[in-house]
Amino acid sequence: MHRASLPGNSQPPAQPSASRITFVDRDAAAGLICKFLDAIDAEGGPKSPFMQYAQANAARTLRLWGVERGAPA
């Protein structure tokens, strides 16, 4: 009997290897986000909609992590 083929790649996606999964220290990540926000603030001038979006999401991430900007991360 003929099997119907799926469009595109019919192979199931490969599962990620446990050895390829890495975790980043949250304090280090928060420090980078704070430096990113500091750089955006230092730039001055009007922000593009993309930069406003990135800035809002970065600040939101810090709030979710319980990190206060300006505090050592």
Spatial contact of 32 and 10, defined as CB atoms under 8 Å apart: no
The per-residue pLDDT string of the chain (73 residues; one tens digit each, 9 = 90 and over) reads 455 555 555 666 766 666 676 778 899 999 999 999 999 999 988 999 999 999 999 999 999 999 998 744 4
* 45 secondary structure, DSSP code: S
Spatial contact of 30 and 65, defined as CB atoms under 8 Å apart: yes
pTM: 0.62
Q: Nearest to residue 25, comparing CAs of 67, 53, 68, 70?
A: 67
Q: Rounded distance, CA 24 to CA 63, Å?
A: 18
